[in-house]
């Protein structure tokens, strides 16, 4: 039934439909790749951000303690 419908489909509309499906496929592939890159980047930079944050936090406490002396 579906094959019969596709065969009767005008060729211009079918070309546009194929372009739409291809575009949606590449859009999905791009977002999947972007998610992998973001996840990989976050896993690398997250410890670095933690170290910098705790360093700043430690220096803040050290400066407060030095002011109290």
Domain total for the chain? 1
This prediction's pTM: 0.39
Q: For residue 2, what pLDDT is reported?
A: 52
Is the distance from CB of 62 to CB of 69 less than 8 angstroms? no
Match 């303690």 to its residue by tokens. Answer: 65
Phi-psi region at 2: left, alpha or beta (left = phi > 0; alpha = psi -120 to 50): alpha
Is the distance from CB of 6 to CB of 14 less than 8 angstroms? yes
State the DSSP H helix or E strand holding residue 68, giving kind and residue range, or none if neither.
helix 11-68
Return the SS3 of 1. coil
- Domain of residue 40 covers 2-68
Confidence band of 7 (pLDDT split at 50, 70, 90): low
* pLDDT tens digits, 9-62: 566 667 777 888 888 888 888 878 887 877 777 777 777 777 777 777 777 888
């Amino acid at each position: 039934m579906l094959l019969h419908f596709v065969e009767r489909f005008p060729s211009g509309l079918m070309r546009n439909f194929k372009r739409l499906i291809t575009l949606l496929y590449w859009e999905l592939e791009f977002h999947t790749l972007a998610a992998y890159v973001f996840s990989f980047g976050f896993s690398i930079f997250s410890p670095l951000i933690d170290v910098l944050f705790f360093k700043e936090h430690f220096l803040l406490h050290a400066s407060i303690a030095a002011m109290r002396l």
